[in-house]
């Protein structure tokens, strides 16, 4: 840390950020006092040894990052690039560690500009530590290119809000040096069914060969790890392993199925219920508060590209678009699509299916690295055992930057920039005018039924609709009322099915107008509610006169009406009104947005 001048030797292989990012092959002197990950790895990665060397490295994980090092790295980035980087916690792990996210975006410089949201998450599975490096390297690359004045990255950061979560599983990551087999989180589960919910195994390299052996136990009908008898003194080691729940089987979408296990000892244990793990709850809460156009989740163990659906062979509704994305990613990496692998399997409760099926995000899972040959057989305690798991999932540290630069980074680049350059580029917004309380937009659409939505940023719910319209293919011209919002970030969101681009206004729209409140009498609303989609019901109403009542009493009335719309048999407890947002002014159309209360 603390180099004042870092001599950067960057060899960025492949085509980055679309067509026109320069490939740096020369050395450049950058004086920002920030330690780039490739410099750090160059000094800490040289002592790499073969085998399950994570044991030899100890809790620092050598050139790899533990959760403390990730925290320092993100805060260091924030301190050196305060205009671009913010760091925040999306939730806590089971062991109460911060699950950190970094947001990277450049300040607005244009009056009306695209700001879309995209996300990259690593390390659902603890032992796949290379994925942390992939995320941190991506962060450093875009910060580096931006600080060099690279025009493509500058445009990207002005148009995108990029969210990076290096590890979703900090507990497991930090325990790897004791047991590099850990895949799940560290939430104790009663593996052996003795009604004791503490983990009863002390994993240890008993024979001192630098490996933790995994062997099959017929007594327990599952895999145990080399170790010593734990706190229960029952003379067995490994009968109640550390953790945990497979975080990538714990999402609340198609939770139950053959693609996950109900056996706590299984590596694919789905957990007792959807979102039983605090780590998946943190992600779902985070994603619910954003509108991610694209998102990437990084894994290792093999090299492959995975897109929804994972729970079924049936095509996804956007299968054609996913096919296009997969083909582009194949060109960049040479990786196979998941279904082309000879040993591919289905998964239930998986991240990508939830992101797409529930959050409508173009979600791609990348299996970034695999070395199956690293696993080999030995004997432990007289039993046939397997060792070498660290090297199966993670490259030697001297190779990790090159591997990521040549194969993984171009795929992350593609997904992050896809909303700007994808084949299915939906529309263009040409301009806007503001007159009185009317905002008029002109643009061009290539598809029919395109949603044009005016939104403001709500502290609790992210971007919240104020008014909307639908346009068809061709040149469009739509206008909205924007009265009353004098102190909020506002944007125009254009897309279809909730997926699209948000054009953010630079600064605030301040149109003078007195806010008014609406009235109702005898519990009868002076307008109609249409639609039975309980997740979002739009109420359109134009005030004809100004009268008064409170928003909360109006909410109570609308709540009871919504309850009457809910199909018989569905719980009504989740369906309360949590917000009414409207422009309350005489003679102006009003849109109330009523959302289902999220369960998380």
Which residues bind to Zn ion, rule: CB under 5 A?
Answer: 125, 128, 299
As measured in angstroms, the least distance from the Cβ of 299 to Zn ion is 3
| Smallest gap from residue 127 Cβ to Zn ion (A) | 8
- Judged by beta carbon, residue 130 or residue 562, the one nearer Zn ion is 130
For the record, the structure tokens of 271 come out as 């957990």
Tell me which H or E stretch contains 56: helix 54-57
Element (H, E) at 74: helix 67-80
DSSP 72: H
CB of 586 to Zn ion, least distance (A): 57
Q: To the nearest whole angstrom, how small is the minimum distance from the Cβ of residue 367 to Zn ion?
A: 7
Give the residue ranges of DSSP H helices in 107-159.
130-147, 151-159
What secondary structure letter does DSSP report for 408?
I
Q: Which residue is nearest to Zn ion (CB)?
A: 299
* Shortest Cβ 254–Zn ion spacing (Å): 18
| Distance of closest approach, residue 370 Cβ to Zn ion, in angstroms | 10
Q: At closest approach, how far in Å is the CB of 366 from Zn ion?
A: 10
Question: With respect to Zn ion, which residue has the nearer C-beta, 300 or 504?
Answer: 300
Output phi, psi for 350, to 5 deg.
-90, 155
Helix-, strand-, coil-residue percentages of the chain, each rounded to 5: 25, 30, 45
- Minimum gap (Å) between residue 277 Cβ and Zn ion: 15
Looking at beta carbons only, is 299 or 332 nearer to Zn ion? 299
Total residues belonging to the chain: 600
Q: How far is CA 221 from CA 182, 212, 249, 375, in A?
A: 18, 19, 21, 21
Q: Which is nearer to Zn ion, 393 or 493 (CB)?
A: 393
When the beta carbons of 121 and 329 are compared against Zn ion, the nearer one is 121
Q: With respect to Zn ion, which residue has the nearer C-beta, 249 or 332?
A: 249
| Least distance between Zn ion and beta carbon 300 (Å) | 7
Q: Which is nearer to Zn ion, 269 or 485 (CB)?
A: 269
Shortest distance, position 113 Cβ to Zn ion, whole Å: 36
Q: Residue 216, Cβ neighbours under 10 Å: how many?
A: 13
Nearest residue (CB) to Zn ion, 281 versus 299: 299
Output DSSP code: residue 284: H
**Residue 329 C-alpha from the chain's centroid:** 19
Task: Copy the structure tokens of residue 582.
Answer: 């409207």
How far is the C-alpha of 69 from the C-alpha of 57, rounded, in Å?
Answer: 14
187/465 with CB nearer Zn ion: 187
- Tell the smallest beta-carbon distance from residue 332 to Zn ion (Å): 21
Give the nearer residue to Zn ion in terms of CB position, either 128 or 226. Answer: 128
**Helices vs. strands in the chain: H and E counts, helices first:** 13, 26
Residue whose tokens read 């244009």: 110
For residues 165-181, b (16+ Cβ closer than 10 Å) or e, as one string?
Answer: bbbbbbbbbbbbbbbbb
Residue 518, helix vs strand vs coil: coil
Q: Which is nearer to Zn ion, 38 or 354 (CB)?
A: 354
Residues with Cβ within 8 Å of 16's Cβ and at least 6 positions away in sequence, in order, are 23, 141, 145, 409, 410, 413
When the beta carbons of 125 and 575 are compared against Zn ion, the nearer one is 125
Q: Distance of CA 72 to CAs 35, 67, 117, 172, Å?
A: 11, 9, 25, 18
Tell me, what DSSP letter sits at residue 64? S
Omega cis (within 30) before 244: yes
Contacts (Cβ under 8 Å, ≥6 apart) of 118 = 160, 161, 162, 163, 292, 293, 294, 295, 415, 416, 419
CB of 395 to Zn ion, least distance (A): 15
């Amino acid at each position: 840390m603390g180099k004042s001048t870092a001599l950067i030797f960057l060899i960025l292989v492949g085509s980055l950020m679309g067509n026109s990012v320069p490939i740096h092959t020369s050395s450049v002197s950058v004086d920002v006092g920030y330690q780039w990950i490739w410099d750090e790895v160059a000094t800490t990665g040289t002592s790499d040894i073969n085998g399950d060397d994570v044991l030899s490295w100890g809790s620092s994980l050598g050139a790899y990052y533990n959760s403390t090092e990730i925290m320092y790295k993100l805060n260091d980035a924030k301190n050196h690039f305060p205009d671009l980087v913010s760091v925040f916690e999306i939730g806590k792990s089971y062991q109460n560690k911060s699950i950190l996210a970094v947001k990277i975006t450049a300040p607005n410089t244009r009056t009306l500009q695209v700001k879309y949201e995209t996300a990259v998450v690593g390390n659902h599975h603890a032992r796949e530590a290379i994925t942390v490096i992939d995320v941190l390297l991506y962060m450093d690359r875009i910060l580096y290119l931006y600080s060099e004045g690279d025009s493509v990255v500058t445009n990207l950061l002005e148009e995108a809000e990029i969210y990076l979560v290096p590890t979703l599983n900090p507990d497991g990551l930090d325990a790897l040096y004791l047991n590099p087999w850990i895949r799940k989180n560290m939430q104790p589960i009663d593996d052996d069914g003795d009604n004791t919910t503490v983990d009863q195994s002390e994993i240890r390299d008993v024979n001192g060969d630098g490996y933790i052996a995994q062997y099959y136990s017929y007594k327990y009908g599952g895999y145990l790890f080399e170790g010593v008898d734990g706190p229960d003194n029952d003379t067995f080691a490994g009968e109640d392993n550390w953790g945990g729940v497979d975080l990538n089987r714990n999402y609340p979408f198609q939770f139950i199925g053959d693609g996950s296990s109900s056996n706590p000892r299984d590596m694919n244990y789905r957990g007792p219920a959807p979102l039983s793990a605090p780590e998946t709850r943190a992600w779902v809460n985070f994603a619910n508060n954003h509108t991610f156009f694209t998102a990437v989740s990084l894994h290792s163990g093999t090299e492959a590209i995975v897109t929804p659906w994972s729970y079924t062979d049936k095509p996804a509704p956007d299968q054609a678009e996913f096919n296009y994305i997969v083909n582009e990613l194949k060109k960049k990496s040479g990786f196979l699509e998941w279904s082309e692998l000879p040993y591919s399997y289905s998964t239930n409760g998986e991240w990508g299916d939830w992101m797409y099926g529930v959050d409508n995000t173009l979600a791609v899972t990348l299996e970034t690295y695999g070395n199956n040959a690293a696993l080999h057989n030995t004997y432990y305690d007289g039993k046939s055992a397997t060792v070498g798991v660290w090297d199966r999932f993670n490259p030697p540290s001297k190779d990790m930057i090159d591997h990521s630069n040549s194969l993984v980074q171009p795929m992350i680049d593609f997904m992050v920039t896809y909303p700007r350059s994808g084949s299915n580029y939906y529309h263009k917004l040409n301009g806007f005018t503001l007159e009185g309380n009317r905002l008029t937009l002109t643009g061009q659409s290539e598809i029919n039924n395109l949603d044009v939505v005016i939104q403001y940023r709500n502290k609790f719910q992210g971007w919240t609709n104020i008014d909307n319209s639908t346009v068809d293919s061709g040149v469009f011209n739509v206008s909205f009322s924007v009265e009353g919002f004098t102190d909020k970030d506002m944007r125009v969101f254009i897309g279809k099915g909730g997926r699209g681009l948000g054009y953010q206004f630079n600064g605030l729209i301040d149109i003078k107008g007195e806010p008014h409140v609406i009235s109702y009498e005898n519990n009868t609303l002076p307008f109609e509610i249409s639609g039975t989609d309980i997740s979002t019901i739009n109420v359109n109403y134009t005030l004809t006169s100004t009268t008064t009542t409170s928003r909360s009493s109006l909410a109570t009335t609308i709540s009871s009406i919504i309850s009457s719309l809910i199909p018989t048999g569905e719980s009504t407890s989740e369906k309360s009104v949590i917000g009414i947002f409207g422009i309350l002014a005489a003679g102006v159309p009003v849109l109330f947005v009523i959302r289902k209360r999220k369960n998380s």
